[in-house]
Structure 1
Amino acid sequence: MRNQLWFKLTGAFALIIFIGMVVTVGLASQGAATQFEHFMVANQMVRPATMQAALANYYTRNGGWQGVDTTLDALLLDASDGMMTGMFGSMMGMLANRIQVLDAEGAVMADSAGAAGGEPVSAAPLEHWPVIVDDVLVGELVVEGSLMGAGMVDTAPVVESITRTVFIAAVIAALTGLLLAAVLVRQITRPLVDLSHASRRIAAGDLHVRVPVKSDDEVGELTDTFNQMAASLEQQETLRQSMMADIAHELRTPLTGLQGAIEAMQDGVFPADAENLEALHVEVLLLNRLVDDLRTLANAEAGQLALEKAPVDVAELCRSQVNAMQFRAAEKGITLTADCPAQAPPVVADAQRLNQV
């Protein structure tokens, strides 16, 4: 479950790559088939006019049709300019039509079916293309069917080859993209995993843990904010421990005095008279004040500190506080005086909280 985000993001990238690969291969295959068919139509590999010219040249070079039956394939190749022959094999194999070369008397000089010297083809439909040399009819090119048809060459092998090549390229690109996506997702999720581990350590009480910031993006900002939070928690914990130590010290002093005085009375060192009991009472009042201060502090931290506001004579409040501190100040050689006006306007405040301040 801890790697669930990694699997989700990687799976999303994989789905996008797969869809892109399927669309690319499909469009490429369809486009290749369409363009190849257009190419075949626009560039007929065997053109009657060029075949007529090739046969006329042969007749001129050789002074007749001798040997034309053995060179018909080469003549057709010359007529087609050699286009695509290496991919499909010989021109004879490419042609779905039967072709014959006749002399001026109508005798068969060459036959694509290998029947030279036989009877001229008579199956319909036929196309007759005269071969003329120096304005003289020297022969005839006879084609069974139509030589101009676009179906002379089977385009399926070419389309399959192109589709196979595009598919292999798409698979390689998809695997490469998926690998890069996995690395990218790893870089994104690794800091989040570190933050999760650090959060667990903080929950367990380890406030010293920090996560290194490795980027300047949103994840890096989140990591930096987490570190600031951890530092603040550590500082608050330090202050809390210091406050607890101070509270323990403040409570220990009057408690120690009370314990010592009570033990002295029990041992008969001091009599349990009114004067000594009054001293113990003062220590108890001090403890009550400390407890009240702790409760006040807790309420303030919880946002529950209520102020009991009422009109307060500030001058009288200052004089009473000075009088209360006179004894402690005199012990240290300090003289306190209250410089207050005789008649000061009252203010609305909490007198008890002002005394604490």
Structure 2
Amino acid sequence: MNRLWVRLLAGFTLVALVAVGGVALLVNWNLRNLFEAYVHLAMRWRGVALARTLEAYYAAYGSWEGVEDLLAGETSLQQGPGMGMMGRLPRGMGPGAGPAGGAWILADADGRIVADPAKVARGTSLTASQRARAIELTVGGRRVGWLVSVVRLSGDSTLEAQFIRSVNRASLLAGFGALALAAVLALLLVRSITAPLRDLTHAAQRLAQGDLSYRVPVRGSDEVAEVARAFNAMAEALQEQTTLRRHLMADIAHELRTPLSVLRGQLEAMLDGVFPISAENIAVAHAQTLHLGHLVEDLRLLSLAEANGLDLQRVRLDLRDLLQETARAFEPVAEEKGVTLETALPQEPLIAWGDRQRLRQVLFNLVQNALQFTLAGGRVVLQGWTAASLPPGVAGRLAPHLTGGSWHVLAVSDTGKGIPPDELPHLFERFRRGTSKGGTGLGLAIAQRLVLAHGGRVEVESAVGRGTTFYILLPAAEAGEAPPSRQAASPARPIPR
């Protein structure tokens, strides 16, 4: 009885049983009342003739003494003085005069019962309902009694009782038939309800066994189908996350293997005497340890950012200062490469709540990438705007993302070789270097997560041979506003050109 389909079937069947039983009782009660009313009506027509006979009897004898024999139809009325009647009363004027299930009660003028041959009266006086349907007996304009019909439907010999029993049998058979049909329909309904649940159970077991590709068949558009769709979406997300985790582990192993192999080879060569133990060879090994340290730190930072575990030290700051600091820091590198590094800043301040160190890290990463992919003679520009002062072309591209408050926009543009369109959707994935060499491949992923932790987003547009622009959208700080809580925004995506 612990199975869901058994409980549902039992519940539906019980409801059907109560409904069918209730309808059957109501129909039987109503039919019995209507049939009794019909029998009373039939007896009343016969009772009119009997009433005239009883009135003649009372007129002849002046009382109701001996009238019970007349009602029972077992004696005859002798013609009395002044009656003008002959010998024997018609036989059957008692109970047999009406329907076979009927009987008569005679009461005096005050309603006291004086004759009850069939012993059907309850008490010694007529009830209000009996008097309401009784036939009044009068002699010389004076009421002398009441004639009341009584219907008996509980016996075995009358046609009326047989009719009621046949109706009851038909109702009982119809009730059982309806109950059986309801049970069959309930079983089909229960099967249709529990079948998707069995599919969900089977799918959950398959997922628990490691088969993340299994999906639940979706039938219809009801609530159970919605649960199946939600389960499939969960399974798909789980499969995607598992795939990403496997790729991440493979990427980490690959990224660690190269510097470890170089470091091991360098040390073994020095131990075997192939390479002399010199400052130059030790510097090569030391560089690999530094690379490993950077990789581990980047992985730690990325995992914290993705888990919303970064402890941001938010302060009110002017984003123009960050742009200027970044430009000054990279001026020597740009000069060495022969690249022009410029800033284009607005007159009005760009005040925002942010962690200065983390936002500087974002800008450093983007400028470093821009300088790396820009050839000598090229140009890298750092810009900043309020949402209201954006150039028309930029405002049109970023308008869908500048809703729900005030925004500031920072941009790092270069005239480098650009990013191929097929690489743009994967630009912020871990260890995605594209055609670049060196680095950990985590810089853009970390930059994106740091901006998301500030409640902003990163957008990018690029054209091969013309250059790339990264846009950093950050919420503006209002006067007197408290530091906002960390909130997640939707991931970055390329801006269509």
TM (normalized to structure 2)? 0.48
The DSSP-based 3-state class of the residue aligned with 1:24 is helix
State percent identity of aligned pairs.
Answer: 36
* Paired residues of 2:42 and 2:98 also in contact (CA < 8 A): no
RMSD: 3.8
**What runs of 5+ residues in structure 2 fail to find an aligned partner?**
50-66, 78-84, 104-157, 365-442, 448-497
> What does 1:126-165 correspond to in 2, within 5 Å?
141-143=90-92, 145-146=94-95, 147-148=97-98, 151=102, 153=158, 155-165=160-170
Higher share in strand: 2
For this pair of structures, how many residues does the alignment match? 274
Q: How far off its partner does 1:293 sit?
A: 1.1
The equivalent position to 2:341 in structure 1, one of 315, 338, 349, is 338
Q: Which residue of 2 aligns with 1:172?
A: 177
* Paired residues of 2:16 and 2:182 also in contact (CA < 8 A): yes
Q: Which residue of 2 aligns with 1:16?
A: 15
Question: Measured at CA, do residues 219 and 246 of structure 1 come closer, stay the same or move farther in structure 2, by a change above 3 Å?
Answer: same
Q: How far off its partner does 1:46 sit?
A: 9.5
Q: How far off its partner does 1:28 sit?
A: 2.4
Question: Measured at CA, do residues 297 and 123 of structure 1 come closer, stay the same or move farther in structure 2, by a change above 3 Å?
Answer: closer
Q: Which residue of 2 aligns with 1:38?
A: 37
* Paired residues of 1:207 and 1:230 also in contact (CA < 8 A): yes
Write the distance in 1 (CA, Å) between the matches of 2:92 and 2:187.
62
> Aligned AA for 1:198?
A
More contact order relative to length (CA 8 Å, sep ≥ 6) = 1
Write the distance in 1 (CA, Å) between the matches of 2:280 and 2:312.
36
* Paired residues of 1:44 and 1:148 also in contact (CA < 8 A): yes
1:305 lines up with 2:305 in the alignment: no
The equivalent position to 2:223 in structure 1, one of 218, 223, 235, is 218
> Aligned AA for 1:299?
L
Q: How far off its partner does 1:313 sit?
A: 4.6
Worse overlay, 167-176 or 24-33? 24-33
The DSSP-based 3-state class of the residue aligned with 2:5 is helix
* Paired residues of 2:9 and 2:190 also in contact (CA < 8 A): yes
1:208 lines up with 2:210 in the alignment: no
Q: Which residue of 2 aligns with 1:317?
A: 326
* Paired residues of 1:123 and 1:144 also in contact (CA < 8 A): no
Q: Which residue of 2 aligns with 1:110?
A: none
Q: How far off its partner does 1:317 sit?
A: 2.8
**What runs of 5+ residues in structure 1 fail to find an aligned partner?**
51-121, 130-135
Q: How far off its partner does 1:148 sit?
A: 4.5
The DSSP-based 3-state class of the residue aligned with 2:180 is helix
> Aligned AA for 2:221?
D
Question: Measured at CA, do residues 213 and 320 of structure 1 come closer, stay the same or move farther in structure 2, by a change above 3 Å?
Answer: same
Q: Which residue of 1 aligns with 2:253?
A: 248
Write the distance in 2 (CA, Å) between the matches of 1:298 and 1:256.
25
> Aligned AA for 2:94?
G
Write the distance in 1 (CA, Å) between the matches of 2:334 and 2:291.
15
Instruction: Decide which structure has the larger Cα Rg and report it.
Output: 1
Write the distance in 1 (CA, Å) between the matches of 2:239 and 2:230.
14
Post-superposition CA distance 1:277-302 (Å, at most 9, x none): 12211110110111111111221222
* Paired residues of 2:331 and 2:341 also in contact (CA < 8 A): yes
> Aligned AA for 1:145?
G
> Aligned AA for 2:341?
A
Worse overlay, 344-353 or 191-200? 344-353
* Paired residues of 2:215 and 2:232 also in contact (CA < 8 A): yes
* Paired residues of 1:14 and 1:178 also in contact (CA < 8 A): yes
Question: Measured at CA, do residues 176 and 346 of structure 1 come closer, stay the same or move farther in structure 2, by a change above 3 Å?
Answer: closer
